Amino acid sequence: MTVRLERITRHNWREAINLRVADDQRYFVASNLYSIAEAGVYADELTACAVYDDDTMVGFTMYGWDDEDYGGYAIIRLMVDQRYQGKGYGRAAMVEVLRALREKPDCDKVYISFEPENYIARKLYASLGFVDDGRIVDGEVVYRLDVAKG
């Protein structure tokens, strides 16, 4: 598996909006179309990326500065298409996003939130070192990762 992030552009956005989670997961994540529109409106703060394994788009993520809800850097969206779930792509995508955020000199914390019923997300984020921040934002549990520098 060779996972990489590639910014959403006019060349790949249509493929990204056709990615789908399973029906029972649709409540957990906004559509990629909505997320791409949101990233366009907040272009100075947010980065929308496709997740690729070699040349195959397997997922989508969006991350960046979110002063409104978190007061810092956050992973706003992460989804893996239903055809590729359970193969380690979610973890690999998170590692790549965290790598990109760690390169930012002012990033000392990363936030992520999820629906309380999303036990798979909770387990994944905790396994990467995220801890409960004690906040609820828009009904979602907020987790925080303290970023070590050096």
Domain ranges of the chain: 3-146
Average pLDDT taken over every residue of the chain: 94
pLDDT in tens, 18-55: 999 998 888 899 999 999 999 999 999 999 999 999 99
Report in angstroms the alpha-carbon separations of 91 from 26, 36, 95, 132: 19, 22, 6, 18
Q: What is the pairing mode between strands 56-66 and 131-137?
A: unpaired
Number of neighbours of residue 149 by Cβ within 10 angstroms: 7
Could you name the CATH architecture of 3-146?
3-Layer(aba) Sandwich (3.40)
What pLDDT is recorded for position 5? 98
pLDDT in tens, 90-116: 999 999 999 999 999 999 999 999 999
Map tokens 């910014």 to a residue.
7
* 136 Cβ neighbours under 8 A, 6+ residues apart: 142
Which among 91, 51, 99, 92 is positioned nearest to 73, based on CA atoms? 99
